[in-house]
């Protein structure tokens, strides 16, 4: 059996505060969109017990900007969990306007225990929600 990855798409609402002095979305705002997309992906797929006991801390973001976004654009963030290693999760998020890629982001995150705030290993049981087996 092989594994398949489950992606998640998040519509993005561009607001006037996202726009910088050049008239397009400020580059820093893309980080917020990535965080929103990754956390929405986690909330959508993770089991209730994991949602209640775990949280996420961003470790690294590597962004490649392709094209600017503007106030009236219809933009989405499409994110997928690429892999898991111990307490770390590695995501790819694409910010797009239709078929146009505006930015590509590789990010790594650390899963932490909500009470102790210490790294919490992501076990096979939780991983199976994100990487379901296919026949």
Per-residue pLDDT tens over the stretch 42-91? 999 999 999 999 999 999 999 999 999 999 999 999 999 999 999 999 99
What is the DSSP code string of 65-114?
A: E-S---TT--EEEEEEEEEEETTEEEEEEEEEETTEEEEEEEEEEEEEET
Which residue is associated with the tokens 């092989």?
A: 2
pTM exceeds 0.85 for this model: yes
pLDDT of res. 1: 32
Share of the chain above pLDDT 70, in %: 94
Instruction: Name, in order, each residue with C-beta under 8 angstroms of 48's C-beta and a sequence gap of 6 or more.
Output: none
Statement: residue 21 has pLDDT above 80: yes
pLDDT of res. 2: 37
Statement: residue 134 has pLDDT above 80: no
* Dist. CA 76–CA 82, nearest whole Å: 19
Instruction: Name, in order, each residue with C-beta under 8 angstroms of 49's C-beta and a sequence gap of 6 or more.
Output: none
């Amino acid at each position: 059996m092989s594994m398949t990855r489950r992606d998640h798409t998040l519509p993005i609402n561009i607001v006037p505060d996202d726009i910088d002095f050049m008239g397009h979305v400020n580059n820093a705002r893309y980080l917020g969109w990535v965080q929103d997309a990754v956390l929405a992906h986690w909330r959508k797929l993770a089991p209730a017990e994991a949602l209640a006991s775990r949280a996420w801390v961003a470790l690294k973001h590597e962004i490649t900007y392709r094209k600017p976004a503007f106030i009236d654009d219809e933009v989405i963030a499409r994110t997928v969990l690429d892999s898991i290693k111990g307490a770390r999760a590695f995501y790819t998020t694409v910010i797009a306007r239709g078929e146009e890629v505006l930015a590509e982001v590789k990010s790594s995150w650390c899963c932490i225990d909500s009470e102790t705030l210490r790294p919490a290993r992501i076990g096979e049981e939780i991983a199976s929600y994100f990487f379901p087996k296919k026949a």
